[in-house]
């Protein structure tokens, strides 16, 4: 079930959406070209490693500043692999432009970063002893999806279900997406021994932040 486009009209160039996508890609490609040792170090410094903020001793042993809370934001610009990056680019491309259109450029950027921060915080709260960096724009994008959920509930999202294209209401597609995130997040808590390679709680945190905050960032509609 892969979304490929939506039917909601966009009346302004989404420069912030496009700019974020370009920044993610440049950072990802640049890190791929770096020596592995340097790339891993940057992921640990600028990615959000939950145990870093839960254990002063662990942070000291890893030579990571305990009080460097900027990683709750900088992790939003890093990605783990090509699939991770491409999926986020796809979702931002489909849904980001319309939300930016309704908010305006600067408010949309602040909204995006705020949702991303809350996403990072919730991931830390529910998994404080995780020793690997949490990276990716997914949590912030979840906030964008929440805004789209309320602003364009009846617009169609075109899904690729091999071998056909199927239009479904945005409220249905995003509703299913939320249920999947909730299922996987709660399952990851119940079965902690399993390997978790997706920050489910970050997705939930970003979506919650988006649901609560989106209305405060909307620009006035012209009559």
Residue 188's pLDDT is 54
Confidence of residue 194 (pLDDT cuts 50, 70, 90): very low
Averaged pLDDT for residues 183-197 = 56
160 vs 116: CA distance, rounded Å: 28
Q: How many CA atoms lie within 13 Å of 69's alpha carbon, on the beta-carbon side?
A: 6
How far is 35 from 81, CA to CA, in rounded Å?
16
Q: How far is CA 94 from CA 7, 114, 158, in A?
A: 9, 20, 10
Domain segments of the chain: what residues?
Answer: 2-216
Which of 67-71, 140-144, 164-168 is predicted least confidently?
67-71
Is the pLDDT assigned to residue 190 strictly greater than 60? no
pLDDT in the model for residue 186? 65
pLDDT at 115 over 80: yes
pLDDT above 90 coverage of the chain, percent: 74
Q: Helix axis angle, 138-151 relative to 170-190, nearest 10°?
A: 140
pLDDT tens for each residue of 29-51: 999 999 999 999 999 999 999 99
Q: Where does 74-175 show beta strands of DSSP type E?
A: 156-161, 164-169
Q: What is the pLDDT of residue 162?
A: 82
Mean pLDDT of 42-61: 92
Give the predicted TM-score (pTM) of the model. 0.91
Instruction: Please check the confidence at residue 147 and state whether its pLDDT lies above 60.
Output: yes
User: pLDDT category, 197, cuts 50, 70, 90?
Assistant: low
- Name the CATH superfamily for 2-216: Rhomboid-like (1.20.1540.10)
- Mean pLDDT of all residues belonging to the chain: 90
What average pLDDT does the segment 95-105 reach? Answer: 97
Check: CB of residue 11 under 8 Å from CB of residue 101. yes
- Is the per-residue pLDDT at 85 higher than 70? yes
């Amino acid at each position: 079930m892969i979304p490929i486009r939506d039917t909601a009209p966009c009346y302004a160039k989404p420069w912030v959406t496009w700019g974020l996508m370009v920044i993610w890609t440049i950072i990802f490609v640049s890190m791929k070209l770096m020596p592995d040792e340097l790339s891993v170090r940057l992921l640990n410094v600028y990615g959000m490693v939950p145990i870093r903020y839960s254990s002063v001793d662990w942070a000291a042993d890893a030579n990571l500043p305990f009080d460097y809370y900027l990683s709750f934001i900088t992790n939003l610009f890093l990605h783990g692999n090509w699939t991770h990056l491409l999926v986020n680019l796809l979702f931002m491309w489909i849904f980001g432009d319309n939300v930016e259109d309704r908010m305006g450029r600067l408010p949309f950027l602040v909204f995006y970063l705020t949702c991303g921060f809350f996403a990072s915080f919730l991931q830390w709260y529910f998994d404080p002893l995780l020793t690997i960096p949490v990276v990716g724009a997914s949590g912030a994008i979840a906030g964008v999806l929440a805004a789209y959920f309320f602003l364009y509930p009846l617009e169609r999202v075109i899904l690729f279900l091999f071998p056909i294209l199927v239009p479904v209401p945005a409220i249905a597609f995003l509703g299913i997406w939320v249920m999947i995130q909730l299922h996987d997040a709660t399952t990851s808590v119940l079965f902690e021994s399993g390997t978790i390679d997706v920050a489910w709680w970050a997705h939930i945190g970003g979506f919650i932040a988006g649901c609560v905050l989106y209305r405060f960032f909307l620009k006035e509609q012209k009559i």
